[in-house]
Amino acid sequence: MLAIDQTTLTRSLNLLERDRVIERVPHPDGRIKAMALTSKGRKALEAARPLWARAQDKVLRELVQRHGLTRNGGWPTCFESPSRSAGGVGPEPCPAQARTKRRPLMSIERRMRGRVHYGWIVVAVTFVTLLAAAGIRSRLGC
């Protein structure tokens, strides 16, 4: 449900538990770890919700203003290339101003595309480690 790594989630939950914002509650299925908000946690959530909404609002508003993104899903409503919407169907071509202002996001994406995914670096390091371990073990003939 949450797009969080297991270890990250455990660590975050432990921190919340340490601050007594949540507590462990028993679950009939022993394999499931259930958590519940404490009264302190409920109060904190109530205080945080409007703040969170305001921050969300601010970020989205600035994105719309600066990069011509829309609130629904963040995709632009206009085409970058005017020729593609020549048939008159679909989104309008972007006004010249919006096109130039959207460039920061585009350039970041382009830079990311050329780079190697970090996972491959992890794989390379793991490969070398496993190789070295096998080499060490092979010394005594096994």
Interface residue list for another protein (CB under 8 A): 5-7, 118-119, 122-123, 126-142
Pairing of β 22-25 and β 34-37:
antiparallel
- Closest separation between CB of residue 121 and another protein, Å? 10
Q: How many CB atoms lie within 10 A of CB 12?
A: 12
Q: Which token pair is 49?
A: 């919700």
- Closest separation between CB of residue 118 and another protein, Å? 8
Q: Identify which of residues 2 and 51 has a Cβ nearer to another protein in the complex.
A: 2
- Closest separation between CB of residue 140 and another protein, Å? 5
- Closest separation between CB of residue 14 and another protein, Å? 11
Q: Which token pair is 64?
A: 């719309």
Q: Identify which of residues 55 and 133 has a Cβ nearer to another protein in the complex.
A: 133
Q: Identify which of residues 2 and 136 has a Cβ nearer to another protein in the complex.
A: 136
- Closest separation between CB of residue 122 and another protein, Å? 6
| DSSP code per residue over 66-123 | HH---TTTT--SSBSSGGGGTTS-SSPBPPHHHHHHTHHHHHHHHHHHHSPPHHHHHH
Give whole-number Cα distances, 52 to 11, 13, 45, 48, 49, in Å.
22, 19, 10, 6, 5
Q: Identify which of residues 50 and 141 has a Cβ nearer to another protein in the complex.
A: 141
Report the alpha-carbon distance of residue 41 to residue 16 in Å, rounded.
9
Q: Identify which of residues 83 and 138 has a Cβ nearer to another protein in the complex.
A: 138
